[in-house]
């Protein structure tokens, strides 16, 4: 209950309420993107500074495991979507990639919960977050290619909600091979991934002494910035929730069940790695989250026939609010019980 009564979660609910009334949040254009960039830099710097004192060799098993989970998770999601939801192969591959990748905002909200409860966690978990962004995109492309779905690109389009623009479609018109290359390039050089990774490296170089000099900008305002961003995300999630209401009930069930399956996989991996409570809870949360920005941006080149009206309402309208309101406290409780 304390988690649900925290300021960030209450602002998330406020944003959802504003969306459900049909109103808009009077933020200036680009304000949500600026907040997202701030959060990326702040979490990267803090993670890098914490990582500066860690033994690199001890971190590698975690990072390797995180990458393998992200690579393998779409295979399970694809099989479930095909067998239980009756989804066509194109959209099953696209949605599966979303559920192998991760959500920064879900991760950040989980770190806030851990901090509020005094549960320590390592800066290397930010590196795990960065590692898990891309492999799922590769798996999605492999699933699509195996089904002969690397189709020629079409003209670029896009949709936007709130202050976050999600580009869809696109390509250069020279066939599936080029489209796949573009998607892989997008996965490797996605701006959000580069900003997070670069900030992590900066934090690693400056260490804790350098981070102390930046605390007035990147530590003290953290709760306020997160609250404003979740206000925006609450609005966007509620807007997608209205679209999600028209989804097949089997897809909605998948959007609620897949995070729990992913969390179970993450919990098993955390136990095998011998992680502490905080690190384990964050790995479980990452495995239970779903991407709604990086994956659509990367797959727009290779799967132009995939319907964003399925994947985005599912990941952003169903799974994201479930994780924010229910999943994160549940994952922490389950992790605490399993590691007790």
CATH number of domain containing 43: 1.20.1530.20
Token representation of residue 316 = 């952003």
Q: Which two tokens stand for residue 295?
A: 């994956």
- The full DSSP string for 82-100 is HHTS---HHHHHHHHHHHH
Asked if residue 272 is part of any domain, the answer here is yes
6 is a domain residue: no
Residue 325 DSSP one-character state:
I
* Separation in Å, CA 42 to CA 2, 39, 180, 191: 25, 5, 32, 15
In a domain, 105, yes or no: yes
> For tokens 């770190």, what's the residue?
111
Maximal C-alpha separation, the chain: 56
- Domain for residue 222, yes or no? yes
Where do the H-state alpha helices sit in 84-190? Answer: 89-100, 104-116, 124-131, 135-146, 176-188
Whether 165 maps to a domain, the answer reads no
In a domain, 115, yes or no: yes
Residue 140 and residue 93 in contact, taking contact as beta carbons nearer than 8 Å:
yes
Complete DSSP assignment for 204-229? HHHHHHHHHHTHHHHTTTHHHHHHHH
Cα distance between residue 102 and residue 27, in whole Å: 26
**Along the 340 residues of the chain, how does pLDDT read in single tens digits?**
555 677 888 898 899 899 989 999 998 988 888 888 898 888 889 888 877 877 778 889 999 999 999 999 999 999 999 998 888 888 899 999 999 999 988 998 999 899 989 999 988 898 898 888 778 888 887 887 765 544 443 333 333 333 343 333 334 444 455 556 665 666 666 677 788 888 889 998 998 899 999 999 998 898 899 899 889 988 988 888 877 878 889 999 999 999 999 999 999 999 999 999 999 999 999 999 998 877 876 676 667 777 777 888 899 889 999 999 999 999 999 999 999 7
Determine, yes or no, domain membership for 188. Answer: yes
DSSP state of 152: P
pLDDT of residue 301: 61
Q: What is the pLDDT of residue 62?
A: 94
Residue 183's pLDDT is 59
For residue 2, give the 3-state DSSP assignment.
coil
Structure tokens that stand for 184 in this block: 């892989």
Query: Quick one: angle between helices 56-83 and 89-100, nearest 10?
Result: 150
CA separation for the pair 111, 43 (Å, rounded):
10
pTM of the prediction? 0.80
Instruction: Look at residue 19 and tell me if it is in a domain.
Output: no
CB 110 within 8 A of CB 157: no
Q: How many domains does the chain have?
A: 1
Inter-residue contact 269 to 65 (CB < 8 Å): yes
**C-alpha to C-alpha distances, 245 to 34, 168, 176, 276, nearest whole angstrom:** 30, 22, 33, 39
Asked if residues 20 and 238 have their Cβ atoms less than 8 Å apart, the reply is yes
The pair of structure tokens assigned to 113 is: 């919960």
pLDDT of residue 185: 67
For 189, the domain range is 31-152+170-339
Please name which of 95, 64, 75 lies closest in space to residue 139, comparing C-alpha atoms: 75
Bridge partners for 164 per DSSP: 161
């Amino acid at each position: 209950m304390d988690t649900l009564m925290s300021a960030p979660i209450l602002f998330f609910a406020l944003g959802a309420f504003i969306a459900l009334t049909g109103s808009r949040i009077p933020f200036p254009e680009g304000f949500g993107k600026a907040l997202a960039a701030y959060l990326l830099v702040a979490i990267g710097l803090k993670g890098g500074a914490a990582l500066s004192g860690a033994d690199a060799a001890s971190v590698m098993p975690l990072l390797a495991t995180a990458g393998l989970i992200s690579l393998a998770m779409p295979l399970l999601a694809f099989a479930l979507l095909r067998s239980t939801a009756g989804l066509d192969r194109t959209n099953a591959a696209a949605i599966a990639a979303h559920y192998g990748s991760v959500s920064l905002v879900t991760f950040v909200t989980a770190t806030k919960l851990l901090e509020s409860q005094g549960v320590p966690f390592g800066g290397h978990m930010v590196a795990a977050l960065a590692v898990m962004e891309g492999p799922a995109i590769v798996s999605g492309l492999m699933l699509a290619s195996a089904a002969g779905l690397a189709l020629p690109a079409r003209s670029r389009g896009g949709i936007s909600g709130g202050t976050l623009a999600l580009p869809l479609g696109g390509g250069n018109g020279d066939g599936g091979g080029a489209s796949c290359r573009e998607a892989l390039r997008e996965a490797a050089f996605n701006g959000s991934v580069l900003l997070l990774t670069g900030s992590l490296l900066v934090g690693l170089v400056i260490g804790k002494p350098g981070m102390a000099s930046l605390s007035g900008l990147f530590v003290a305002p953290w709760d306020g910035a997160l609250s404003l961003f979740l206000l925006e995300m609450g609005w966007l999630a509620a807007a997608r929730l209205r679209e999600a209401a028209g989804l097949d009930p089997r897809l909605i069930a998948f959007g609620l069940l897949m995070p729990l399956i992913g969390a179970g996989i993450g919990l098993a991996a955390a136990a095998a790695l011998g992680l502490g409570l905080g690190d384990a809870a964050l790995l479980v949360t990452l495995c239970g989250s779903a991407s709604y920005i990086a994956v659509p941006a990367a797959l727009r080149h290779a799967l132009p026939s995939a319907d964003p009206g399925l994947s985005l309402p599912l990941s952003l309208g169903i799974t994201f609010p479930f994780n924010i309101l229910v999943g994160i406290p549940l994952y922490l409780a389950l992790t605490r019980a399993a590691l007790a």
